[in-house]
Every structure is written in C-alpha cells, then in structure tokens.
Structure 1
Amino acid sequence: MSIKNQSFKVNVNTEIGRLRKLLIHSPDSGLGKVVPSKAQDWLFEDIVHLDTIRKDEYDYYIKLLMYFLDPDKIKGKLAEIDSETADRNFFKPDHKDFHNSLAVIEIQNLLADILEDASIRKKLSAAVCAIEGCTYKRQLQMVETEPKELAKIFISGTLEDDVMIFAPIPNLIFTRDVGITINNHILLNKPAKKARSRETLLMRYIFFNHPIFKEYAENILEIPDPAQHFLRPGEEEEQRTTLEGGDVMMVSPDHVLIGCSERTSAYGASEAIKLLFENNVVNKVTVVRIPNKRDFMHIDTVFTQVKRNMWVLLSSISKTQTANPDEPINFLVKQDHKEVTEIHQFTKHKVQEPKIFESIEALLDDISQNDLKSTEPTQFIYSGNGNFPYDSREQWTDSCNLLAIKEGVVLGYDRNDKTVEAFKTNGFNVIKVKDLINGLEDGSINTVTITDTLVLMPSAELSRARGGFHCMSLPLLRDDL
C-alpha cells in the first residue's frame, strides 16, 4: 500500500505521549564513505563501520519501533527476518522487500516519491547541483535518472557504479535536526553548518511536495533571515540566524523549549519565537542557553524527558552543582556574581518581560508540576549517576539523549553503565533490546502494559556518530497524555 494515498495526521504536544508516527533515515552507503580527513567537516568525530551500525545496532532500533508502531509488519516474521539465509534487506529502503511502514517512515522513500514528478525532479536536480557545484551536463543526467536511484544519489552522493560525485550527508540519520513537530505545525530547521545544507534542501522539498503533508502546507514554518541581513558586516557565527531541531522540545501542548547552543543562535531562537507566536502555535516559549561547545551541541544532549515527573540530565548544569576548579570545564554561566544557568521564559503577550529560572531543574520541575499537572514530585536521573568523570564521559555518549516511545519507556545506549545504575535506583526495569524484541514476539511482553523501562540499545558504532535515539527520530504523531 503506497503511503502517498493515505490520510495522514500530524500532531505532537509532548515529548512522552505514546509514539505513533515518526520520520527516520536508516544508515546509507554515504555513512560508510566518511574519511578521517573530512570527518569533522561533515560533523563526525570519527569514522564508523557501516555494516555493524546497520545489522548489529540500527536494525534493532527499527525492529523495536515496528513492534510498537506497526506490529502487523513484523510480528510473526522475526525468525524469517533474522534467518541466516535472509539477505537482511527488510530495512533497506531501496529494496523490494522493504517494510514500507506508514508509521516508521523512511525519508529516502518520501524523497523517491516526490522525484516521480518530472517538474520536481528537474527543480531539485538543479538546486542540488547548484549547492554542490556540479556541471550542467551532470544536472541533465540527474534529471533523466530513475527516481529511486536519484534519491539514493542525492543522499549518499554516490552513483550506481559506486563513484562519488559529491559529499554524502551522513547526518541525515539524525532526523530530529531537520525539523520538529509542534502541535499540528512543523518548524523547519536552519542549519548552522554547511555540511547540512543539502539535507535541509531535500527536507523542504519533501514537506512542501509530498502528498502526506498536503493538508499541512500552511502549517510548515520556515525561519527567515532578518531583513537586509546581507548588509551585516562580516559573517560572524554569533550573528547568523540558525536553528536545529535538537534544540527544540515540545514539552506540553502550549509550551516549547528552544536552546541557544553551538548550533542554534540567539537570532534563530528569536525568529522562531516570532513565528510560533504570530501563527498562534503556542503561547509560551522558554529559551535555554547552554555553553557553545561541541560537547553539548543541542539541549537534547544535556536533558530529555522520561516521564511526566521525571527527567534525565547532566548534573554539571543542575542547581546542586557548585563550581569545581579541578574540573577541566566550568559549565555554569556567571551572572551577578552568582553561578546560574541562563533560562528565560517568554509568553505571547509579555515578550519583553521574561520569567527567569534559577536552574534547569527549576524549569523542568515547573513543566512537570504546572504544565503537565504531575501528581508526584519531580525526579531527576543524572548522567553518570552524578559522579565526575562518569557524568561527562557518559553525556558524551548520549546518556541524556533518550527517546520515549511511550511515557516511562525510553531507549538509550548500553554503554552508559553509571547512568543505567541511576535508572535502577529510581525504580526502572532495564532490559536489552534483543530480549525485549523476543518477548514482544513470543507475547510474554506487551507494548500496552510495559512501564518504567530503560531499553538498552547496542551502541559501539552508533555512539561514535555523536547522537542518541532522540536525535535519530522526528516524531510526527504522539498520543495526548
């Protein structure tokens, strides 16, 4: 059944409502072509092993999503999918046996769909070739390329004969950053780094041209540059208008968090606030400024939500942390001779009178108690169990970057041992993804009744890409709490 012909609903109003639809991108061949000399230019810290990521790590992610979001596509078929004789192409979007889920939606498939339109194929080929500096003859060749193959080329930068014609876009696996669903609107990103320009272009074409988003065309928000921005002297990083989805969290139906970070500028946050207020999307936006460092990158690398009253976060930015001169980095911002984090909350009719929070914990407690009406005290689980150096080590491997597939059931990397201990201390069950999948297959575990569970995902290679499962998801539909 083609996704193009389906009625489609978009709505996300919390971080933890039962997940029903999301956009993902399975690791493609371009990820396996990142070379050491260009890794950091392409926003990777290291080169990764593609087959290991695909078969031993990311495939578990897709399987688990399918059991929760589209079980008819996988239940009863696990043995066949995992058999030694299977060619393991169930998760490769260009293969005839791909699952084609209408809930676990592959970006490459959407791209191939819109490229069937000759006009779009011509326009997008011209745009990509302009960004990548291709010849006009190459552009004409792309226009004549079959849509599914052209989608692969646009993403991997590689022709059918394995010849690379331009750089891959390996960060497309981090779909959160290309946009974020805010109620029934989609806020598109404005990337900070040149390496993400092509993926942003592709996603704009998908959101504005794919039939499943047709009813939401007026609800897609793009962040503009300020008027006459080109007259600014220089192109200093701090003066650019940038915003990425990892810095945007939809924490309650009327409240959005926006981070100012290495990737999202104050200009970007300001323009996003204007858009959200002018379009009546929400009435409250809180801006959280974190250190402009690669260690953090986005706010979802330092905290994410687990339950209505529970959050996981980096202790170094919490109110209980005092400056330690022996630590190599002081994460706190000095203001009026006090060490506090910078958090300003704006409401639609009082934009010039922001409410200031003393700490991340105070903000998250306010969200839990006042926005989400929790009947229990707010709890915090700290990266590395709050102990240095494990807090910093495990935050680097995404201990705070968790994806909730329903309230209290979150996915995280298996390598963050001290953080796992903290979850256990707070009453959580901990289960390896393989055991959970087997339980879902044989019926001993049920997606409806499972609660308070941290699912450990294999991460030897994925963690080296510097992004967790919150980064690797763009939720399109969640249940209301």
Structure 2
Amino acid sequence: MDTTSTGVDSEVGRLRTVLLHRPGPELARLTPRNNDALLFDGIPWVGRAQEEHDVFAQVLRDHGVEVLYLRDLLVRTLEIDAARSWCIDAVLTDPRLGDALRDALRSHLDGLHPEDLAYTLIAGLAHEEFGAGRGLGFALMNRNDFVIDPLPNLLFTRDSSVWVGSRVAVCSLAMPARRRETSVMAAIYDHHPRFAGVESIYSSRLETLEGGDVLLLAPGVVAVGTGERTTPAGVERLARNVVGRGLAHTVLAVPVAQDRATMHLDTVCTMVDTDAVVMYPNVADELRAFALRMVDGELVVRAPAPFVEVAAEAMGIDELRIIDTGLDPVTAEREQWDDGNNTLAIAPRLAVAYERNVETNVRLEAAGIEVLRIPGSELGTGRGGPRCMSCPIVRESLHKVAPGHG
C-alpha cells in the first residue's frame, strides 16, 4: 500500500484522510426520558458540542488531514436509487411500525429530496412531526415518541466501520440504538463514487463486531477486544477474513471487562507511537491476549498470555511501552472515564486528546508524545474521545514488520 492509496495499516501512520460526523439535530432529540436507551450519559448542549467538534476537525486540517463529513457523503449517496432504497428499507424493517404505518412512512421517505432524506435518517422522525401517520401503532404512540429513531451515536464514526489495509469492514453493532448506523455506512461504501471498487470484509449481518474494539497495532497485527460490544465469534470471523486475505498475519483477541466504562478496547488502550500505548493502569497487568494465526488453512488459537508481551512478539519489537493514565487510582479512574486513553494519533508521537485529562496529557508529554488538546465537555457525554469520533480512511503506510515467531 503506497502513501496515496485508500487504506490503513496502523494506528499511528501519518493520517491523511478521516471520516467525521459533525453532531447536529439528532443530539437535540436526547431527553432525560430517552438518553439511557440512546446510550448517552447526559444531555449534551448541542451548540457547544458542535463548537468542540469544529475545533477537533480544524486541528486535524491544520495538520494536513483531509476531513470528510459523513452527512455530505450520505447526501451524495442518496442521489443513487439503489442506495436510497437500501436506507429506506433499513428504516422500514423496524417491527414496531405495523403495515399501515410502514406503508405511509415508505411513501413519505420516497418523496424526500436527498438532503431531506439524509436529515431524517440521521435526526429521526417524531410522532408529532409525521402528519401522514396511520395505523394502530401510530395511534398509540406518545406525541414525542419516534417513528424513526435518531442516531446520536453516529458521532462515533469509529464503531460502524474500520479499515484494515485497503479493505473496509462495515461492522455489526451490538446495541439496538445503533444498528441502523451500519445501513448508512454500507450505503456510502457501496455506492459513493469515492469508494468505487473498495471491497468489504465484514457486514452488519454477521456476528457483533465494533470498530472501537479493533486496533491495528502494526502492519499485519490486529488486536480486537471482546467484551460488552464485540463477541468472541465476531473476533474469530474478522480474523478469518483478514488473515485469509493476507491483510494480517496475527489477530490478537483481547478480553475486556463487560461494563460501560470499558465498553471497547480503545477505552482502555490506544497507540501513540509505533512501540507505545497509553493504557489504563488498572488493566495493564491484567489484560491478556489470545493470538490467532492461520496454520495449514486452519485458524489456530494460542493459549493466553499478557497482552503487552503477545503484542510485542507479534509486532516484532522488543517491548511495547506503556504510558499509564494517572499516578493514583482515583485520578486514573476519573481520566479513564473521561476517555483519557482514547487518543487519536495523527502521526507517530503526535496525538489528539481531550484537554480535561490533565494528568494523562502530562504523562504523555513526559514520554515524548506531543499532545494536541481539544475541548470535550459536551462531546464526552456519549462516552467517546477523539479516537471514537474518527474513522481513518487513509494513513501513510508504515514499513512492514516480520511476523512474530510461533
């Protein structure tokens, strides 16, 4: 893969193109009544969240990164009939609707301009906004109930798709509130001219797998967390697909605690250099990995060993350096909750992080990592940091490393 091709083979190669979603009216749909179901821990101030996101995007542009906005890609995609039909059908599969409401909704969506259809697919449609609604299900809805649920978590573009080499994996999201995100991403990758000819190596119909659990430790080495959102079966399926296609020689399955604070592997560990990770110290000694490799056409699972040891061996380096978040347990726990570990590397030793994680940022800089601080008080209400909010599409390739032994 040369420096101009579409694709990603590491977490830290110079970032050239990234996919973001600027938060919009879908965040204004959050209320104390629905925020838990929609996976937010608070009610964000939408205007401030947009300002914070604009700062993030500008920091990336200032460092030579092309920023693609999901909504812009979606509008262009919805000009294509097959893509429109795909996205509308994904809405209409909701079993709550009933035939009468489903027919009325199809007629409404079919008549929308691509701009308006994109708005509705992302922001949702409330009962009180849909004058053409009919059927028993519609009659029994509260006026503020959603005929089409909004997608506030679309902000976290890392989860719904991830690139491995020159191929893209459209993920299979675990939580009901997020599953329709993948129909939007599949439409974009399948039909937008920017991605013509790109092969998909995963789909939303397969076992649950989320991009926040997928870390490209080095060319040929992929770590995948398994816990609240990604199942072991999802890890195994991805491993077969990437190793079988020669996109990786080793996949590391990394069990993580199944709770809200550690929902993905990238909430406890992200890379900031070719041989360094920032890691939540409470898990550094406990994190283990199973190495998966193809031997004579069969996927072989090795016995678990400490993550940092297995990773270093697979990466072909002597040691994977750990920069931990916080000197004391309270600080570490606070900054892990505030996504202190969830950094986005723009290049080796250059990372974007939330400014509020003061201790973690100081420790990163002491270890030789330049930190680009961004505000995130409102963006963080959905439990995600700079890495969660970004899907790298093009990174400059790192030099290939030899496979680890064994």
**Same topology, TM > 0.5:** yes
- In the TM superposition, residue 117 of structure 1 has moved relative to its aligned partner by 2.1
Alignment match, 1:280: 246
Whole-Å separation in 2 of the counterparts to 1:280 and 1:380: 29
Match of 2:63? 68
Tell me if structure 2 keeps the 8 A contact 1:16–1:406.
Answer: yes
**C-alpha distance after superposition, 1:99-146 (max 9, x if no partner):** xxxx31111111111211234323432331223735312211211111
Residues 245-299 of structure 1 deviation map (CA, whole Å, 9 limit, x = unaligned): 0011122221111110100011111211122233332221110011111110000
State the partner residue of 2:359: 418
Q: Distance in 1 between matches of 2:104 and 2:70?
A: 27
Equivalent in the alignment of 1:75: none
For residues 23 and 379 of structure 2, what CA distance do their matches in structure 1 show?
10
Q: What does 1:52-451 align with in structure 2 at a 5 Å threshold?
A: 52-55=48-51, 57-69=52-64, 103-131=66-94, 133=97, 134-158=101-125, 165-216=147-198, 218-222=199-203, 224-225=205-206, 241-319=207-285, 332=286, 341-349=287-295, 353-356=300-303, 358-366=305-313, 370=316, 373=317, 378-385=320-327, 387-427=328-368
SS at match of 1:121: helix
Return the alpha-carbon distance in structure 2 between the equivalents of residues 53 and 423 of structure 1. Answer: 25
**Structure 2: where are the runs of 5+ without partners?**
131-145, 399-406
Report if aligned partners of 2:151, 2:181 keep a CA contact under 8 Å in 1: yes
Q: Give me the CA root mean square deviation.
A: 2.2
After TM superposition, the score normalised by the length of structure 1 is: 0.73
Contact 2:49 2:378 survives alignment (8 Å): yes
Distance 1:243 1:378, change over 3 A: closer
CA distance in 2, matches of 1:461, 1:474: 20
Q: Greater strand percent: which structure?
A: 2
Task: Return the offset for 1:471.
Answer: 0.5
Residues 128-169 of structure 1: CA distance to partner in whole angstroms, max 9, x if unpaired?
12237353122112111110111011001148x977642211
Shift of 1:353: 4.4
Q: Which amino acid aligns with 1:265?
A: T
The letter for the 2-side match of 1:222 is S
Residue 175 of structure 1 and its aligned partner are, at CA, apart by: 0.3
Q: List runs of 5+ in structure 1 lacking aligned partners.
A: 1-7, 71-102, 226-240, 320-331, 333-340, 428-451
Residues 185 and 221 in structure 1, CA contact (< 8 A), matched pair in contact too: no
Is the 1:30–1:158 contact (alpha carbons within 8 Å) kept by the matching residues of 2? no
SS in 2 for 1:348: strand
SS at match of 2:38: coil
Q: Note if contact 1:19-1:406 (Cα within 8 Å) is conserved in structure 2.
A: yes
- Secondary structure, counterpart of 1:411 in structure 2: strand
Check whether the contact 2:308–2:320 (CA below 8 A) recurs between aligned residues: no
Provide the C-alpha distance between the structure 1 equivalents of 2:274 and 2:90, rounded to a whole number of angstroms. Answer: 43
1:394-436 deviations in whole A, cap 9, x for unaligned?
A: 1010000000111111011111122123223324xxxxxxxxx
Question: Which of the residues 2, 14, 17 maps onto 2:13?
Answer: 17
**C-alpha displacement at 1:210, in angstroms?**
1.3
Partner of 2:380: 463
Q: 1:430-464 CA distances to partner (integer Å, 9 max, x unpaired)?
A: xxxxxxxxxxxxxxxxxxxxxx3111111211122
Q: For this pair of structures, how many residues does the alignment match?
A: 374
1:288 partner SS:
strand
Aligned partner letter, 2:373: L
Letter in 2 for 1:63: Q
Q: Deviations over 1:194-235 (max 9, x none)?
A: 11111111111111111111111x34432654xxxxxxxxxx
Q: Deviations over 1:171-213 (max 9, x none)?
A: 1010000111000111111111111111111111111111111
Q: CA deviation at 1:391?
A: 1.0
Q: Distance in 1 between matches of 2:389 and 2:245?
A: 28
Write the distance in 1 (CA, Å) between the matches of 2:185 and 2:93.
17
SS in 2 for 1:38: coil
What amino acid sits opposite 2:335 in the alignment? E
